[in-house]
A and B are shown apart, each in its own frame.
Chain A
Amino acid sequence: MSKGYLALMFHAHLPYVRHPEHDFFLEEDWLYEAITETYIPLIEVFEGFEKDGVPWNLTMSITPPLAEMLSDPLLQERYIKHLNKLIELSSKEIERTRWQKDFQHLAFMYKDMFIRAREIFENKYHRNILTAFKKFQDSGHLEIITCGATHGYLPLMDINPHAVRAQIKIAARNYEKHFGCRPRGIWLPECGYYPGHDRFLAEEGIKFFFVDTHSILHATPRPKYGVFAPLFTENGVAAFGRDVESSKQVWSAEEGYPGDHYYRDFYRDIGFDLDFDYVKDYISPDGIRKMTGIKYYRITGESEDKAPYEPQIALEKAASHAGNFMFNREKQVEYLYDVLGGKKPMIVSPYDAELYGHWWFEGPKWIDFLVRKIAFDQDTIELTTPMKYLEENSKIQVSTPSMSSWGYKGYHEVWLEGSNDWIYRHLHEAADRMVELAKSRPDSYGIERRALNQAARELVLAQSSDWAFIMKTDTMVPYAIRRTREHIARFTRLYEDIKRGTIDGEWLNDIESKDNIFNEIDYKVYA
């Protein structure tokens, strides 16, 4: 019999980036890279479990904007084009590296990876890989959970509770559209919890959410089992706290597995390394170099002098890191089991899904090894999901978790500081106006109804925490500002037009086709 539980949770999210008005749009690459490097490799790993009859339980959030992008025909079409270019480039690379034995096998590896990706994306899942994840959920092994409608950072939205509620309601409804059932769990955007928001989760029938460690440790009253058991909020929703140790082993820049010198280096990419003429068809059409995804070096060390990547050695590293992770969890669980007086501890380890594959190239393999080892090489720990835990453990302490997030310093500073604090007066005003519109127009129809729905779309798109985050991290800042401005501008015009009764139908068509997220949206969620 096992002595404790381990729940791995992967948070998959990208902001809604879709620009039909441009043939090429650099930021759309975020999605294409994540599909090739993270989502498809995860699907391959999960398929392997199913094929080999590995008992497995994992949790994964697929945020509504990501689900909407993955099911969007334009982006699907563009992804295929993107992939075809990569296949073409990797074919050229196979030729180019003919006399470089250290590199040519890597060129073959990439070409193979791209062709497999196309096979899975196009032929196996007919361009909609959500159906793959849904299949794993239906088979009972993958718990897919939702998130805020557009990953809006809820603690900084609290001034208008209607706006918080709408983020949850829109998300739950969108989840139903894509997965055919109600969501049972939620990953609060950035793990951002504001006491009281759990009532909106309860309204949607959501059973559990995640918080950071200190949220549980500083809960009122004191949590008897620390972070090793969930708490029920007063509204009866379970809060699962993140385990520090297991997080650090993967996340930490210095001590974490992904920093191993034999793992593939993320930064060295042929898009930057090779002759301009040669790569110009594979970077931005305006000649700005960008990553292609073809990377030949391993991390090597501090020096600039990088050694060629050796996949076999990296694979062995991933296996031994998975073994190490499991060993540490076994020791942790055995010890905690005694300390807790014979109660099975719950170890919760949430990660950004895009860490695996995109950043840590070998990450999906690590998951593969870990899940298989846990299934066959030990019986101390049991892989579970929060939902399964709740089904097996009915006695749960009631306590209110403390406000928190998983961002730097544990609270809201990442999304509220000098570079981005100016956005909130506009976001709050727009939310107030949206509520005003919805309350004063309880049963609108025709063009006004469309305008109201579009106003709701513009509001939630402006609320994505990604824009504040990008402003803070100083990469792609103009794009984040542009998006905030665009959505607030469109919202403001809609608000004024609706109030005046002068909605410009042609313009409305245009922005409906651009910001086409959530075709099912109903502005009345703001009433």
Chain B
Amino acid sequence: MVKDLKTKTINELKNIAKKLKIRGYGKMTKKKLAESIKKSEENTSRLNAKETKTDLKAEKREEIKEKAPTSNIDDGQSMISESKYITGYSVPKPCFEENFVFPANYGKNNIVLMIRDPYWMYTYWNITEEKFSEIRTAYGDDAISNSKLTLRVKEITGQGPENPNEVFDLFPPIGTKNWYVNIAKPNSSYCVEIGLLLANNEFILIARSNVVHMPLFGPSDIVDEKWASLIDFEKIYALSGGFDTGKSSGELRKEMVKRLEQSLFSGASGAVTSFGKKKQSGKSEKTFFLVVNTELIVYGQTVPSAHLTIQGRDQKLNHDGTFSVRFALPEGVQEIPVTAISEDKEDTITITPVVTKETR
């Protein structure tokens, strides 16, 4: 069979493929076409064999046609393997992005400081192996093995890193490459240093970060004379936060802070909605449930040129005159007259299935 196919031109093969309803034939190479045709013909012969075996009760044959189990499965498989050919034609290149591993270190000794909110900073750092061995050479193995990886936090508002107002050390475990740092003074400048603290309290600096200025938390005490308020600022502040103005300033301030911490911002970023398609009506919260629905499929075949109605509504026929309609089936009795009228309007056939649904 395949041999025969080999002698045919690609257009002839395409015609065969079209008749056999092979999906995606238009984009196939000649070889692929031949293989698909062969496969399809094998399936058909298998299907035919089944039909003869079950021996021809009309509805039964209909059922086989409808379900066509073997051909459906093969169809799915070939679709999957086909997709490889449709896009590529040649062997797909190895996708290097998938194998890309984020570098553990970019060969630098550095530390970066970022602001998360008025009370928290985030810092990450890189220390190269070379740096470690350099320090080891300079200070000796013992000194290094008794040292601690140290994150030195400096509050340097109005100062340089050499003259900090306040310093404290944190000791992230060896191998750590980032840390969240809690600070006490919003509206202040900070920088951090990464290094090793020796047993004798000597600090070996490896890298110093950028300087950040933490945001102010609460209203500013600075007033621009030109814009001095004739009105009580607490009142404006409260109104801006949507509070009841009948309260005292202290209460308002407290409420505002609370609001800032909670409700004002929750649900603020609505981008959630753009991606929120995973959750499905809380069904997952239930541990056990049962849902039963019933649907009715009415299907059949007539002459392709005929006019068909189901319950008086026009029904479009497939090219081969078949039709299939699905209904959600409610409780009670349904009469479903199916009427075919020939193209010349000479012949009319009506068949009326009656279906009863009763749920107990």
| Contact with B87, one of A21, A216, A304 (Cβ below 8 angstroms) | A21
* Cα separation A428 to B282 with both chains bound (whole Å): 39
Contact status of A475 and B276, CB under 8 A, knowing A98-B327, A251-B267, A403-B215: yes
A244, B279: Cβ atoms closer than 8 Å: no
Q: Which residue of A lies closest to B273 (CB)?
A: A359
**Contact pattern, B 259-278, Cβ under 8 Å of A = 1, otherwise 0:** 11101111111111111111
| Contact with A397, one of B224, B235, B274, B326 (Cβ below 8 angstroms) | B224
Q: Which residue of A lies closest to B178 (CB)?
A: A421
B278, A14: Cβ atoms closer than 8 Å: no
A406: chain B residues at CB < 8 Å are 265, 268-269
Determine whether B301 belongs to the interface, using a CB cutoff of 8 Å to chain A.
no
B178: chain A residues at CB < 8 Å are 421-422, 425
| Contact with B268, one of A97, A407, A428, A488 (Cβ below 8 angstroms) | A407
* Cα separation A21 to B259 with both chains bound (whole Å): 47
Determine whether A312 belongs to the interface, using a CB cutoff of 8 Å to chain B.
no
Determine whether A252 belongs to the interface, using a CB cutoff of 8 Å to chain B.
yes
- CB contacts under 8 Å to A, within B43-93, are 83, 86-87
A214, B122: Cβ atoms closer than 8 Å: no
* Cα separation A244 to B259 with both chains bound (whole Å): 10
* Cα separation A211 to B253 with both chains bound (whole Å): 21
A355, B273: Cβ atoms closer than 8 Å: yes
Determine whether A443 belongs to the interface, using a CB cutoff of 8 Å to chain B.
no
Chain B CB within 10 Å, residue with most, of A34, A228, A267: A267
- CB contacts under 8 Å to B, within A93-140, are 95-100, 103
B270, A352: Cβ atoms closer than 8 Å: yes
| Contact with B326, one of A13, A96, A251, A304 (Cβ below 8 angstroms) | A96
**Contact pattern, B 236-251, Cβ under 8 Å of A = 1, otherwise 0:** 1101111000000000
B281, A268: Cβ atoms closer than 8 Å: yes
| Contact with A222, one of B115, B118, B229, B268 (Cβ below 8 angstroms) | B229
A412, B97: Cβ atoms closer than 8 Å: no
* Cα separation A227 to B227 with both chains bound (whole Å): 14
B265, A493: Cβ atoms closer than 8 Å: no
Interface size on A, residues (CB 8 A): 104
B2 CB, nearest partner CB in chain A, Å: 28
A411, B102: Cβ atoms closer than 8 Å: no
A241: chain B residues at CB < 8 Å are 240
B112: chain A residues at CB < 8 Å are 159, 424-425, 428
Binds A, one of B132-140, B148-156, B157-165, B328-336: B328-336
Binds B, one of A53-61, A335-343, A384-392: A335-343
Contact status of A411 and B215, CB under 8 A, knowing A397-B224, A429-B106: yes
| Interchain pairs with CB closer than 8 A, number | 251
B280, A272: Cβ atoms closer than 8 Å: yes
A224, B96: Cβ atoms closer than 8 Å: no
A378: chain B residues at CB < 8 Å are none
B216: chain A residues at CB < 8 Å are 218, 220, 402
A227: chain B residues at CB < 8 Å are 240
Determine whether A43 belongs to the interface, using a CB cutoff of 8 Å to chain B.
no
- CB contacts under 8 Å to A, within B188-203, are none
Determine whether B20 belongs to the interface, using a CB cutoff of 8 Å to chain A.
no
- CB contacts under 8 Å to A, within B94-119, are 96-98, 100, 102-103, 106, 112, 114-118
**Contact pattern, B 201-224, Cβ under 8 Å of A = 1, otherwise 0:** 000000000100101111111111
* Cα separation A158 to B221 with both chains bound (whole Å): 27
* Cα separation A404 to B265 with both chains bound (whole Å): 11
Determine whether A486 belongs to the interface, using a CB cutoff of 8 Å to chain B.
yes
Q: Which residue of A lies closest to B99 (CB)?
A: A489
* Cα separation A243 to B236 with both chains bound (whole Å): 12
| Contact with A245, one of B229, B231, B242, B277 (Cβ below 8 angstroms) | B242
* Cα separation A137 to B16 with both chains bound (whole Å): 55
Determine whether B311 belongs to the interface, using a CB cutoff of 8 Å to chain A.
yes
* Cα separation A314 to B231 with both chains bound (whole Å): 43
* Cα separation A219 to B221 with both chains bound (whole Å): 10
A156: chain B residues at CB < 8 Å are 114
B57 CB, nearest partner CB in chain A, Å: 24
Determine whether B170 belongs to the interface, using a CB cutoff of 8 Å to chain A.
no
Chain B CB within 10 Å, residue with most, of A92, A96, A218, A490: A218
* Cα separation A170 to B217 with both chains bound (whole Å): 33
B220, A488: Cβ atoms closer than 8 Å: no
- CB contacts under 8 Å to A, within B301-353, are 311, 313, 325-330, 334
- Can you list 5 A-B pairs with a CB-CB distance of less than 8 A? A95-B325, A213-B240, A354-B273, A397-B227, A426-B103
Interface residues of B (CB under 8 A from A): 83, 86-87, 96-98, 100, 102-103, 106, 112, 114-118, 120, 122, 124, 126, 177-178, 210, 213, 215-224, 226-231, 233, 235-237, 239-242, 256, 259-261, 263-283, 286, 293, 295, 311, 313, 325-330, 334
Given contacts A469-B271, A473-B272, 9 further A-B contacts (CB under 8 A): A23-B87, A218-B216, A221-B227, A224-B229, A336-B239, A397-B226, A397-B227, A416-B114, A488-B100
